[in-house]
Structure 1
């Protein structure tokens, strides 16, 4: 009996001191003011800390992430207007990164700007979040982007691996668009916009645009992750992924996710192929990308030099 008691006590002690599973995100949030004045600078710092704390300390999924597996992201919030006390309008830029296997290189996965980032904030009210019901527009915004980043990251590791997290993001879109709890009216949750949260999630979950998501797996897992060991094979995988992206973008021009992808990857794509000895492949790549992404044509032209 004494031995059994000691065994149970030892087990409880081990469980008590076992480190908790790491959270999914490792976020850095920066809040700045643009053409507005906030008399109390501590308010901005607390706002920034509260946003960062919610992103980093909450368990967003049921998965276990080791500390080195946490998804790094940077969120830049620039307050542009304060319509009333405690109400803020801002722009937000989000960048998330992913390590490349066997290297110290981290690549941008998401680069997205939200120009309609508006919310209420009071330092006296703790920032909280619910998967299934509206708490505040700020918590909805942070939760939506948390699931978007996690979903896209999972798509890079497994074909369509992000689906469960897009479903959770959809819950946020639906309850935030229809909320009557507060006076926060945010058109970014509704179909009426063009380059907003509703449409980027719509792009990611539209079956007709599924090639975008499968291309993420081809680009990262089958391409970038083997580039150090098998550069030619990696370039072939990346080329295949980009061809799928190009075909879908041509069929559905103006697709928001395609724009976000090439904004994040144009320079990297050029670097991948610039050192290739396959001139035919390089010419094919440049011709294809200038058609689908003319904004970055100058970067792609450097591949041929």
Structure 2
């Protein structure tokens, strides 16, 4: 009954009538670039904010308070030519946890291959059927990636349509020759990330991600002990995916978003045996070994 009720709440989220889907904070940091007109970067920041928050990405309307919280942090490291720039973009998003004030991070991804051209006051308009520019393609790609992952956390494989749109954007952008869209095995490019999310062999990952959020985190306030045990089971299932492919980029993506959350959850719930969990975490995400040690701390 609980599951049906919360699924109904999710459907309400996706059938509101007042606002666009994303509520995004955008920051453009150009401190490493020396130019005569710094105002262009503030204009760029405002233009990207408008593109994300005012574009209708889907056919579904959200209530204002239901919009997906996200952030784009753009760090410009080089001016490569007239109106041409190079840098990084970090994309973050979160989703509410049922019956709490907590927002769970669902993506925390840094893209180090961000290049684009921008002339101050040029319009940034998205057309799903047309490649306009690398700047618009990168921003729209990540907007759909956020929507797809967000929907996946509420409904099993529920973000399929949004992820496929992100793949379509990636396929179009590949023709531009801009970096970051290429298909490199075992490398995290925009194409490989969305390709891996949609490949059938990784459906088990997306199902685990759904279970982690909807069947575990969202039941936390109702039955904490059961939810914690379910979270452990969900994370341990990742070992099978890792054993099949130790370079699975989706596990890395999940750990980038979830490492701190996992530590905070299990450090405060010592009534369960965390040894099997920590053993798996050390294997699938050794880069976070210092964090996993905190699970045993007081």
**TM-score normalised by structure 2 residue count:** 0.90
Shift of 1:302: 2.4
1:191 aligns with 2:183: yes
CA RMSD in angstroms comes to 1.6
* Of 61, 84, 104, the match for 1:87: 84
The correspondence for 1:236, drawn from 229, 233, 257, is 229
- Pick from 268, 276, 286 the counterpart of residue 294 of structure 1: 286
Give the gaps of 5 or more residues in structure 2.
1-15
- Report matched runs for 1:37-76 at 5 Å: 37-76=34-73
Provide the rounded CA distance (Å) in 1 between the counterparts of 2:291 and 2:125: 43
**Equivalent residue, structure 1, for 2:11:** none
Q: 1:97 aligns with which of 91, 94, 99?
A: 94
- 1:218-248 deviation digits (Å, cap 9, x = unpaired): 1111111111221112112212221222211
SS at match of 2:94: strand
State the Cα distance separating 1:277 from its structure 2 match: 4.3
Question: For 1:97-153, what per-residue CA distance to the aligned partner results, in whole angstroms no more than 9, with x for missing partners?
Answer: 111111111121100000011111112421111111101111101110000000000
Of the three residues 157, 160, 167, the one matched with 1:170 is 167
* Residues 91 and 277 (structure 1), Cα distance of their counterparts in 2 relative to 1, 3 Å cut: closer
Counterpart of 1:129 (choices 117, 126, 130) is 126
Matched with 1:11 is: none
Partner of 1:159: 156
Structure 1: state its 5+ residue gaps: 1-18, 180-184
Q: Are 1:31 and 1:77, in contact at CA under 8 Å, matched by a contact in 2?
A: yes
- Kept in 2, the 8 Å contact 1:283–1:304? The answer is no
Structure 2 residue aligned with 1:10: none
What is the TM-score with the length of structure 1 in the denominator? 0.88
Determine the C-alpha separation between the residues in 2 that align with 1:202 and 1:236: 31
| Higher Rg | 1
Distance in 2 between residues matched to 1:277 and 1:47, nearest whole Å: 48
Structure 1 residues 27 and 211, CA, compared in 2 at 3 Å: closer, same or farther?
same
Give 3-state SS (helix, strand or coil) of 1:21's partner: coil
